[in-house]
Each structure stands twice: as structure tokens, then as C-alpha cells.
A and B are shown apart, each in its own frame.
Chain A
Amino acid sequence: GAVVSQHPSRVICKSGTSVKIECRSLDFQATTMFWYRQFPKQSLMLMATSNEGSKATYEQGVEKDKFLINHASLTLSTLTVTSAHPEDSSFYICSASLGGGSGYGYTFGSGTRLTVV
């Protein structure tokens, strides 16, 4: 089946540094990828929709200069948390649709636990 590989699974970084998270679709082409964030005991919240070859669409309240998204190829989307601060510590996860619109299940990466110290 379709697989999305997400790396790293866990990262600890110092405050003020930037962290890049990668999501790769291994056996299919993902024209659209979605990036979510999850705080403890809360639901997955969509941050942005990443479209291959064009600018990402950010949800209300998500700082696009803080969370840089690049989707330069049909198999790779990256999320860079710039100048990370402790409040950016969270769980980040990506997903891709296999096509056919939202009537089909989505394939998820395994997530990245970011801790900013």
C-alpha cells in the first residue's frame, strides 16, 4: 500500500535554531500534502496544505514565516520550523491523499516529536 515516510521521528533543538521535517511518498506521487500539529490530549490540527510546485496554503493563525513549507517534487514535502522556541514544541505529522478528493482515506507519516529547549 501507499506509504509516507516522515523523518526525523524525534528531534531536540536549541531555542533559536531551525528544524526541518521531511515527508516522502514512497510509492505514489503526492501532489498535495497536509501538515498537522497536535498538542497533548488535543486533536490533530491542520496547519497548512502543501501543493507541488506552488505556495502552501496556511490555516488561519499559522505563521507562514515561522513554518516554511516546500513541496518541490511530487514525492517530497518539507516543513521547516524557523527560529524555534519552546512553545513550538509539539507533535507534527504529514499526510497525503491518494487522489479522488477527500472521499478517500489519507496516508499519514509516523510523525515528528519536536522538543525545543
Chain B
Amino acid sequence: ILNVEQSPQSLHVQEGDSTNFTCSFPSSNFYALHWYRWETAKSPEALFVMTLNGDEKKKGRISATLNTKEGYSYLYIKGSQPEDSATYLCAFVDYKLSFGAGTTVTVRA
């Protein structure tokens, strides 16, 4: 079983503030890392597919970086809005997706 860890488990952010959180994964035999956003009662939505060391991807106010040598990825939310409230999952990809337990973000208005 691959060890994919996300921290913190949850965080509360004031509207307008920026935040970031971490996904750590095995640094050997890296193929790809996925980030998903999962709102309550909805389907997880793919945010980023990251494949190269040093990758930086951006989608609106959300961005992610990747360090495959040390085995971590950061996801950043700039200027948090209430609609950013969700659980953010990372998944290490080999022959399957191995998920972290997620970071639940709550943005307070």
C-alpha cells in the first residue's frame, strides 16, 4: 500500500486570504500526481495532472507545484472565496490511483 499523506486534514480560511496545503508521496518510480476538488454531494473534479518535476500548474486562483525528487506537491489557493470550500484530494498514479485522505478547506465569509 502506497503512503500518500495530506496535511493538514482540515483548515479554515478567512475570505480573501490565501492558503496552501501539502501532499506527500513516494519519491521513487514517479509517473503522475493528480489533484481533485470534491464538493459535498458532488463528484470529485480533476484539477491538475502533474507529471514533471518542477511542474507548476494554474487554474484561476488555484495553483499547484510538484517536487518528485523529494516527494511532495503543494496546492495553493489565492484570495480564497466561499466557493473554494471543498475537500482537495491528491492521488499518486502508478497502475492505479492511490489517494490521500484529503484536506477539507472551509472559507469563512
- Residues on A lying within 8 angstroms of B by beta carbon are 4, 6, 9, 34, 36, 41-46, 49, 59, 93, 95, 102-111
Residues of chain A with a CB closer than 8 A to B89's CB: 43-44
Determine whether the beta carbon of A43 is less than 8 Å from that of B4. yes
Q: In the complex, A32 Cα to B41 Cα: how many Å?
A: 24
Residues of B within 8 A of A (CB): 4, 9, 31-32, 34, 36, 41-47, 49, 51, 89, 93-102
User: How many Cβ-Cβ contacts under 8 Å join chain A to chain B?
Assistant: 60
Q: Given A44-B89, A102-B31 in contact, is the A34-B97 Cβ separation under 8 Å?
A: yes
Cβ-neighbour of A106 out of B9, B94, B97, B102 (below 8 A): B97
A4-B43, A49-B96 as given contacts; A105 in contact with B101, CB under 8 Å: no
A43 to B49, CA, bound (A): 19
